[in-house]
């Protein structure tokens, strides 16, 4: 299915979760037990953040959800044809312009040129990089490159959007700005999102639900619902209720680390 005819298709709705992981385990050939059984359902319009110490299997979980890795046991069901994935690094092709980088996913899926160009330009506008469409990635700052990577997935109009610590390596100001951009995009598009981060505050600020993972072998040791609606904005960062939830999440993480 292409992005073009996906528009005519019914949006993912009602009939069960977009992503469903049932007792997923992962053991690497070298014996590393990365994931103990993990159950996770994500419905359309849900923004689920996964927090946990580094090395606890967050990336592994996302890769399994995306079909990039096979689980050693358990079941994975993704009802999303259009899958967005933002890696920890921007992974842009240095020989392509910003625009043709954003076009890549559509190109690989056989979307006609004119159509995917239109999508790419729209996605670039969403992330505020229209003026840089003709530039090569190396002319861009780290934050801008991450935006291009976001736009690349957005151009697909993803039903399921997986993000692996996308802003982890950016400075705080840039990170906060990109968080707000992401909130704006989520409010507009309402994809199902799984967002991996090690920042508890970022997780609570963005999500409808926060999932806490234990140290390796990772399993889910706590779930928190965040009761705020969308759109969310800057002011919410300092909301006492939000900070109370963040404190609970942190406590849960600390308890799991013991």
Residue of 33, 136, 157, 237 that binds other proteins (CB under 8 A): 136
Question: Least separation, in Å, of the C-beta of 64 and Mg ion?
Answer: 13
Instruction: Lay out the site mask for Mg ion across 179-218 (x = CB under 5 A, - = otherwise).
Output: ----------------------------------------
200 contact partners, CB below 8 Å, separation of at least 6: 51, 210, 246, 249, 250, 253
Residues 180, 233 contacting (CB under 8 angstroms):
yes
Stretch of 42-50, 132-140, 189-197, 208-216 contacting other proteins, by CB under 8 A: 132-140
Residue whose structure tokens are 């003026």: 131
Question: Least separation, in Å, of the C-beta of 114 and ligand ADP?
Answer: 38
Residue of 7, 8, 10, 30 that binds ligand ADP (CB under 6 A): 30
162 vs 62: CA distance, rounded Å: 7
Does residue 32 belong to the site contacting ligand ADP (CB under 6 A)? yes
Question: Least separation, in Å, of the C-beta of 37 and ligand ADP?
Answer: 15
Instruction: Lay out the site mask for other proteins across 195-234 (x = CB under 8 A, - = otherwise).
Output: ----------------------------------------
- Which H/E stretch holds residue 149? helix 142-154
180 vs 106: CA distance, rounded Å: 26
253 vs 222: CA distance, rounded Å: 8
Does residue 254 belong to the site contacting other proteins (CB under 8 A)? no
Does residue 257 belong to the site contacting ligand ADP (CB under 6 A)? no
17 contact partners, CB below 8 Å, separation of at least 6: 41, 42, 43, 77, 79, 192
Q: What letter does residue 180 receive in the DSSP assignment?
A: H
Does residue 58 belong to the site contacting ligand ADP (CB under 6 A)? yes
Question: Least separation, in Å, of the C-beta of 196 and Mg ion?
Answer: 7
Instruction: Lay out the site mask for other proteins across 39-78 (x = CB under 8 A, - = otherwise).
Output: ------------------------x--xxx----------
Looking at beta carbons only, is 45 or 215 nearer to Mg ion?
215
Residues 216, 33 contacting (CB under 8 angstroms):
yes
187 vs 231: CA distance, rounded Å: 6
43 vs 13: CA distance, rounded Å: 8
Residues 9, 121 contacting (CB under 8 angstroms):
no
Residues engaged in binding ligand ADP (CB under 6 A): 28, 30, 32, 34, 52, 54-60, 216
Site for other proteins, rule CB under 8 A: 63, 66-68, 83, 85, 87, 89, 91, 93-95, 104-105, 108-109, 136-138
């Amino acid at each position: 299915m292409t992005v073009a005819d996906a528009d005519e298709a019914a949006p993912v709705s009602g009939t069960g979760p977009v992503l469903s992981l049932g007792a997923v385990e992962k053991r690497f050939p070298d014996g590393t037990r990365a994931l103990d059984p993990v159950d996770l359902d994500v419905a359309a319009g849900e923004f689920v953040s996964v927090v946990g110490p580094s090395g606890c299997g967050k990336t592994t979980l996302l890769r399994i959800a995306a079909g990039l890795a096979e689980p050693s046991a358990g079941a994975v069901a993704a009802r999303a044809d259009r899958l967005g994935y933002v890696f920890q690094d921007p992974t842009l092709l240095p020989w392509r312009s910003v625009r043709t980088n954003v076009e890549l996913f559509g190109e690989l899926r056989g979307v006609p040129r004119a159509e995917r160009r239109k999508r790419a330009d729209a996605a670039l506008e969403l992330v505020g990089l229209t003026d840089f469409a003709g530039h090569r990635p190396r002319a861009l700052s780290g934050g801008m490159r991450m935006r291009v990577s976001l736009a690349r997935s957005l151009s697909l109009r993803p039903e399921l959007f997986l993000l692996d610590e996308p802003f982890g390596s950016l400075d705080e100001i840039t990170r906060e700005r990109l968080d707000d951009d992401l909130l704006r995009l989520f409010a507009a598009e309402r994809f199902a999102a799984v967002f991996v981060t090690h920042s508890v505050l970022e997780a609570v600020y963005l999500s409808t639900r926060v999932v806490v993972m234990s140290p390796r072998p990772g399993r889910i040791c706590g779930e928190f619902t965040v009761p705020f609606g969308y759109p969310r904005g800057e002011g919410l960062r300092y909301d006492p209720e939000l900070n109370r939830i963040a404190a609970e999440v942190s406590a849960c993480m600390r308890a799991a680390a013991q």
